[in-house]
Amino acid sequence: MEYPLSLSFKIMALAPQIFVRDASGEIVCYVKQKMFKLKEAVTVFTDQTQTQVLCEIKADRMIDWSANYHFYDVNGETFGSVRRKGMRSLWRARYEVFDESGVHVSTISEENPSAKIFDSLLGEIPIIGILTGYLFHPRYVLSAAVDDSPKMKLEKQSALWEGKYKLERMYDYDDVDELRGLMAFMMMTLLERRRG
């Protein structure tokens, strides 16, 4: 994949969808969240035609602050999971990423939690609330659990009627780690999409 990747989705869509494009504008994957499910289920396709599944993300329980979202490849084998850090995520969004054996390998944390506060406050004011997508831009960093070194960075871009993010990779690492990081960011984006 050619970085930076761009993630975009319609804010007002009934069923959340994310388009992921590489630096050349080619679609890398297309994400569609299933509606009306008690347990969240997300299917990731290789493109918008939805003919080839790349992987699936499934919650281990019904709606919960600390639900674990497992990543499954096309053979049904898990290659990792992501979980929100419950109460710690109220002020600063924080997610833990685990490998296929349940070992904590990395953490996603919000760099600028004040953007979320101002976005929430101004978002409630008529007319001005529409413009918060241009003013406040949350940033998230995926860092290694062992030494806290940054692996990937996701930053909100200015947009009015859609959510736009730019994902940058800080260094090269294996394909499974890269895919696990991408899936963790996509699930986090679906959970945090109403911010900024």
pLDDT in tens, 108-131: 999 887 776 777 677 677 777 666
Q: How far apart are CA 28 and CA 58, in angstroms?
A: 21
CATH architecture of 5-192: Beta Barrel (2.40)
Average of per-residue pLDDT across 95-115? 91
pTM over 0.85: yes
Enumerate residues 6+ apart whose C-beta is below 8 A from 68. 59, 60, 61, 81, 82, 83, 98
Q: Give me the helices (H) in 28-140, please.
A: 113-123, 132-135
Grouping H, G, I as helix, E, B as strand and the rest as coil, residue 131 is helix
Task: Please report, for the chain, the start and end positions of each structural domain, with discontinuous segments joined by +.
Answer: 5-192
Predicted confidence band of residue 65 (pLDDT cuts 50, 70, 90): low
